[in-house]
Amino acid sequence: MPENVNASQRRGRPGYDQQGILRVAVAAFIEHGYDATSMGVLADRLGLSKSAIYHHFASKDEILDRALDEALGSLEGVLDEPEASVGSAADRLDHVLRGAVRVLVEQLPSVTLLLRVRGNTEVERRALARRRAFDRRVTALVAEAQAEGSLRSDIDVRVVERLLFGMINSIVEWYRPGGREDATRLADDVIAVALDGLRVPAPAAR
């Protein structure tokens, strides 16, 4: 933006609603880091005055909180879907992993931001606590699948959970929307590579 554009001119530009501001802010947080992204930087990116942003969000922390809540709420929602509580533990785990991939693809920027927070603020610490609670629920599901004999039990349950989500989380580093694979195909590939190798083979027919 030219330096001679004053605040009143910026306010006269087409406005943003909350979601529009959120999208731009998340992109800036990912590019520069949350701590290094000031409200002034956001105002310049949006072509708005800082007071116009404050009309929608009380603080930069609130913007971060909203973005992280979108990612976490969607991941937590996968665990609350009926398919995550009905059937064998292995089938439920399959559903949860597919759902996690779907959330990552559909909300790539907010999930990317979630994976980069380090607990430097109270908002980040709350988000990390929710993420750990999500991880514990998935770990419990892995343990249940091992106990029922669906998954290999010779690998520590916490290692399994970390390997599974290590693969899923790495998608944010290379996945680009509009590519050859949609969320369903990508989830199929993740399950084939990660989960199928952990399944206990069915007994051979006599």
pLDDT of res. 114: 97
pLDDT of res. 175: 87
Q: Could you tell me if residue 147 is left (phi over 0), alpha (psi between -120 and 50 degrees) or otherwise beta?
A: alpha
Burial of residue 84 (CB within 10 Å: 0-12, 13-18, 19+) is: buried
pLDDT of res. 199: 78
pLDDT of res. 62: 97
pTM of the model: 0.84
| Domains delineated in the chain | 7-57 (1.10.10.60), 61-198 (1.10.357.10)
Query: Half-sphere exposure (CA, 13 Å, Cβ side) for 189?
Result: 12
Distance, in Å, from the CA atom of 9 to the CA atom of 196, rounded to the nearest integer, reads 58
pLDDT of res. 202: 59
Q: Which residues of the chain have pLDDT under 70?
A: 1-15, 201-206
Identify how many contiguous H helices and E strands the chain contains and give both numbers. 11, 0
pLDDT of res. 15: 67
pLDDT of res. 168: 92
Write the DSSP string, 178-191: TSS--HHHHHHHHI
pLDDT of res. 201: 65
The β-bridge partners of 151 are 199
Q: What are phi and psi of 199, to 5 degrees?
A: -70, 145
Which of 95, 110, 118 has its CA nearest to residue 35? 118
